[in-house]
Structure 1
């Protein structure tokens, strides 16, 4: 009977061990599966006289093979990889918009200024004037197309946040349920159940980033990259989306826990959600603002110079482009009646950064919306002394309450209202408003060379004026003076200035008067054609052309850096996965060797039972 019992124990043990090997082989392609290992031990022996006789074997444990450190490394790299891949994928799409010749702004930008250059060569030509308008409209359309694509990406980010938070909530709920099923002792839980929980945690971290921490017992808590608890024991928090208090079309991520809803920033989330938030804050919004800054720079500089010319009707030029005012939006929780009207006053100080304006009950302050860094703010907010911040003038109306906040977007909405203000080619102010002529009786060699408008708003700009030289070193303007004169000196009055080549003598006179209708003068067109090289931004150190190329370069650099970081993280993740699989993964060669060994042992155990049966039959025959 002892032989029969020993053989039976071995047969059952080897049968279960073979079943475990079969289970390993069957799950070789199951994601997150950890191979299982059978542990054998001898059964308690029986004392016969003075000797112990063994009673066979038993299975003491069927446990999964794993290493907690390797699993933690894989979790960390999985969340970071998901974040970087999301960031890289969306950044590449923005880069394509600004680098592809079919969609970028540089091509239409060049076409517009080439058309203006063509106008400067024949200022009275109707075809050239119409070409300028056509290319101006094409440029505005390109601005709007790019801005529309960026708006679409913002909508995709919103939709992505909705879907990923829902999926993260589902995973967190399932993990909490598994914590309850596994109970307080993971060592006695089913290995397959532990694998299922680990796989769900890996998927959750792929959405939120973060870490998993084992509790005493069997439960695992899961935290986001910013340390927010998603799963604690059998309880799961809920992620949701809320509208931005300043921009209802912009969704933010929040977490509901213990009856409170807390808004989370991009630094609080990793994984795909963190990638979406980081893309919006570090790529999408800055690109939209910079595109608007370029549009603002174009419209402001072009309009200013267009005002300094006259059209074919003999009228001073008006706005060439329509440009909306900077956007100032109050927080939805404001209790006061204050509002702001804004305008761009100093293009050289305009950086496009969104700013938060706060009222503490006594004073106003400004800070960057992205970093919180304080920004200098001067003025009192009145019409005579508006607030000035980063080149934007702000006029306050109404009464603010303590704690009221406003979001200033200097350029983010500029492209939305950008348009060409004129549709009549003859309204293009290509000519200089005033011209100078020499008296036919002049005896000197003085010839008017450079005639420019310095103040298009001067009320006397078009008033005729006479310059008379008393001698080579003195002159009067409409009898006023005399004024000292040196060769090459600039002569200015009434918002215009000119210089003379050569040397005037006593009695020489020059007459300044308005440019008449239908003039072919191209003075203002020449200046307009070179405005793309005007230093307008960053303290007048960056040209409009430089800003356009800078935007393309910045977007490309961001996309490239995100791609390189994603590639590097993918290598790290692959190494972490390989390290985990080298410990927990199923190896077919090893399983085949175990199967052969266990099969032979099973057959040997069967032979033991057969031998015991023969022995038993022999005994029965002997006593029958």
Structure 2
């Protein structure tokens, strides 16, 4: 009877624990991150009576989580990947909407501007057409400024997202460290780990992966160490290493991510990936910077081509044309950690060679090293010593220092970064539009040969003798002189250049024949130069003379559209993967109410049976006691 009572009582206690665990599962069916728990039963140590072994009942061996480390790791990875592409897609969509609008986009503004130039070409003397052209030029400048403002707004939004993510990461890291302490204490005192604390820590780790891709390593004491980037520690046991949002050393308005080393910060932005923070950094350092640089390159191409061609003509007042737009110089940022006060300046010398890539420069005390800022790869092909007299030359840009640099000094050259915001219209007088060509050519009225001269093409508007009169006199059929000097061989059909003018002589002139070049005075109806202005849209000005402004705009809009669409597809793919992974995780660790209801009924029946066995054992014991009265 004692054995029977003991067995029944052990069953009562064990199934009471099982019922409590089942009810705990049911209560937490909707608790995020909760892993269902399972009671594991085991037989108690049996009693030995002579040669007979008698069972001693049941005990609760453990209450364990139904949990799979591999599936949980997959869920964290899927969460980090989805959060990254989702954040990138949100930001890329804003960029795509800003540039691709059919009515307000850059392509539409450029088309309206070039169409207005054609209007002046149709009627060069019309003031209203000229006013419309300047209005469209102003509109184009405003559109570039608006796009620059939108990019700046996106940069600020990214800064806010980075700062917010860093703050949330620190909070979650502290939460993980606090739970680590409780787990280690529990394991040290009782030899077991509380399941609910493990769930809370797993949920905190999953939330961390939503913000940044992490790697976690479980230690022998039950704690988990968390690492980010290239192995930088975020949590070590019950200790956290704080993550800080700091200003970029070259650009204070640009936020970077750094680890707090106690005595300073180590910037780790370039090594972080995954999560919303990784997505923000990837978007900013990739698509956003590339768009800003390419947009600046387009701005420079538009402004430079317009200015150069307008200077090659004559305005309504008979003056040589002036600039239509301002052309900003490249931006150079110096590190706030530089020990010298040396400044660096830059200017563009050949727009067709400008790539828009940013260059990081480091001085080690004796020589300079050059790197691509985006990927850190070394840059070759730099010539010059960096002095004002012998500036550095790279990809159509020259840059120089105004003094001696100190060891450790760093600079970043961004050739096109400020061009979009700095593009301004400087021509306000409609009469200043140089519709007419600057020079014209004439054939001598007394010529008797069959020679002819083409119209002039201004190839160097900066030549100080551009508008000077030129008299070409043939000494014989094969030789001529210029302004009474020299003796030059004549080859029909050859391009000739004099005082910045290019022209062609053809035919068979004879001795005494004259050809003249001079300023194109009283040319109100001439539209030769304005036609070239209208055609500048399709001039191959970029990428070594292979890409026009229109090509560049189409390429930029297309690249952003492709990047946005790719981000959207990646988001959908990662969302599906996350859904599938979460479903697998829930199938293992999630609470199934039907299953718990069945368990509840099973354990209830077992408990009632054990109670009945206890009652019977008690009755037998009472009967036995009555026999001795």
TM-score by length of 1: 0.94
Aligned match of 1:342: 346
Aligned match of 2:567: 562
Aligned match of 2:541: 536
Query: In structure 2, which of residues 247, 261, 265 is the aligned counterpart of residue 261 of structure 1?
Result: 265
Query: In structure 1, which of residues 345, 348, 369 is the aligned counterpart of residue 373 of structure 2?
Result: 369
Query: In structure 2, which of residues 314, 323, 326 is the aligned counterpart of residue 319 of structure 1?
Result: 323
1:305 CA displacement: 1.7
Q: Distance in 1 between matches of 2:238 and 2:389?
A: 63
Q: Distance in 2 between matches of 1:468 and 1:108?
A: 49
Is 1:413 the counterpart of 2:418? The answer is yes
Q: Closer, same or farther in 2 for the Cα pair 1:143/1:412, shift >3 Å?
A: same
Q: Structure 2: which 5+ runs fail to align?
A: none
Aligned match of 1:20: 21
1:554 CA displacement: 1.8
Aligned match of 2:620: 615
Q: Closer, same or farther in 2 for the Cα pair 1:204/1:342, shift >3 Å?
A: same
1:345-385 per-residue CA deviation (whole Å, 9 max, x = no partner) reads: 01121111111223333333432222232232222344443
Could you tell which deviates more after superposition, 154-163 or 451-460?
A: 451-460
Per the alignment, in what secondary structure is the counterpart of residue 278 of structure 2?
helix
Q: Distance in 2 between matches of 1:265 and 1:530?
A: 44
Aligned match of 2:11: 10
Kindly report which structure 2 residues correspond to 1:118-517, keeping only aligned pairs within 5 A, or say none. 118-183=119-184, 185=187, 188-257=192-261, 259-372=263-376, 373-443=378-448, 446-470=451-475, 473-499=478-504, 504=509, 507-517=512-522
1:182 CA displacement: 0.8
Could you tell which deviates more after superposition, 108-117 or 11-20?
A: 11-20
Q: Distance in 2 between matches of 1:442 and 1:106?
A: 51
Q: Closer, same or farther in 2 for the Cα pair 1:94/1:174, shift >3 Å?
A: same
Q: Closer, same or farther in 2 for the Cα pair 1:365/1:10, shift >3 Å?
A: closer
Q: Closer, same or farther in 2 for the Cα pair 1:518/1:437, shift >3 Å?
A: closer
1:212-231 per-residue CA deviation (whole Å, 9 max, x = no partner) reads: 11111311111114211111
Q: Distance in 2 between matches of 1:89 and 1:266?
A: 21
1:449 CA displacement: 3.8
Per the alignment, in what secondary structure is the counterpart of residue 220 of structure 2?
coil
Q: Closer, same or farther in 2 for the Cα pair 1:96/1:131, shift >3 Å?
A: same
Asked if the contact 2:440/2:455 (under 8 Å) is kept, the reply is no
Per the alignment, in what secondary structure is the counterpart of residue 314 of structure 2?
coil
RMSD: 2.3
Asked if the contact 2:109/2:143 (under 8 Å) is kept, the reply is yes
Asked if the contact 2:14/2:58 (under 8 Å) is kept, the reply is yes
Per the alignment, in what secondary structure is the counterpart of residue 511 of structure 1?
strand
Kindly report which structure 2 residues correspond to 1:531-610, keeping only aligned pairs within 5 A, or say none. 531-610=536-615
Q: Distance in 2 between matches of 1:476 and 1:523?
A: 28
1:623 CA displacement: 5.2
Q: Closer, same or farther in 2 for the Cα pair 1:487/1:258, shift >3 Å?
A: closer
1:194 CA displacement: 0.8
Q: Distance in 1 between matches of 2:279 and 2:447?
A: 75
Q: Distance in 2 between matches of 1:311 and 1:361?
A: 53
Per the alignment, in what secondary structure is the counterpart of residue 296 of structure 1?
helix
1:218-250 per-residue CA deviation (whole Å, 9 max, x = no partner) reads: 111111142111111111110001111110001
Could you tell which deviates more after superposition, 281-290 or 53-62?
A: 53-62
Per the alignment, in what secondary structure is the counterpart of residue 248 of structure 1?
coil
Per the alignment, in what secondary structure is the counterpart of residue 108 of structure 1?
helix
Q: Closer, same or farther in 2 for the Cα pair 1:365/1:236, shift >3 Å?
A: closer
Q: Distance in 2 between matches of 1:490 and 1:376?
A: 33
1:107 CA displacement: 0.7
Per the alignment, in what secondary structure is the counterpart of residue 301 of structure 2?
helix
Q: Structure 1: which 5+ runs fail to align?
A: none
Q: Closer, same or farther in 2 for the Cα pair 1:164/1:375, shift >3 Å?
A: same
Is 1:71 the counterpart of 2:72? The answer is yes
Could you tell which deviates more after superposition, 431-440 or 614-623?
A: 614-623
Per the alignment, in what secondary structure is the counterpart of residue 249 of structure 1?
coil
1:28 CA displacement: 2.1
Q: Distance in 1 between matches of 2:228 and 2:496?
A: 70
Per the alignment, in what secondary structure is the counterpart of residue 546 of structure 1?
helix
Asked if the contact 1:72/1:212 (under 8 Å) is kept, the reply is no
Asked if the contact 1:467/1:510 (under 8 Å) is kept, the reply is yes
Q: Distance in 2 between matches of 1:358 and 1:623?
A: 103
Q: Closer, same or farther in 2 for the Cα pair 1:479/1:571, shift >3 Å?
A: same
Q: Distance in 2 between matches of 1:375 and 1:67?
A: 51
1:52-90 per-residue CA deviation (whole Å, 9 max, x = no partner) reads: 443322212111111222222222222222222222221
Q: Closer, same or farther in 2 for the Cα pair 1:105/1:75, shift >3 Å?
A: same
Q: How many residues align?
A: 624
Per the alignment, in what secondary structure is the counterpart of residue 435 of structure 1?
strand
Q: Distance in 2 between matches of 1:304 and 1:553?
A: 29
Per the alignment, in what secondary structure is the counterpart of residue 243 of structure 2?
strand
Could you tell which deviates more after superposition, 144-153 or 199-208?
A: 199-208
Q: Distance in 1 between matches of 2:626 and 2:484?
A: 153
1:172 CA displacement: 0.7
1:91 CA displacement: 1.7
Aligned match of 2:98: 97
TM-score by length of 2: 0.93
Aligned match of 1:84: 85
Q: Closer, same or farther in 2 for the Cα pair 1:259/1:234, shift >3 Å?
A: farther
1:280 CA displacement: 0.9
Q: Distance in 1 between matches of 2:626 and 2:366?
A: 113
Could you tell which deviates more after superposition, 309-318 or 434-443?
A: 434-443
Q: Distance in 1 between matches of 2:445 and 2:542?
A: 45
Asked if the contact 1:32/1:195 (under 8 Å) is kept, the reply is yes
Asked if the contact 1:205/1:211 (under 8 Å) is kept, the reply is no
Q: Distance in 1 between matches of 2:91 and 2:457?
A: 48
Q: Closer, same or farther in 2 for the Cα pair 1:255/1:14, shift >3 Å?
A: same
Q: Distance in 1 between matches of 2:543 and 2:460?
A: 23
Q: Distance in 2 between matches of 1:586 and 1:358?
A: 58
1:265 CA displacement: 2.5
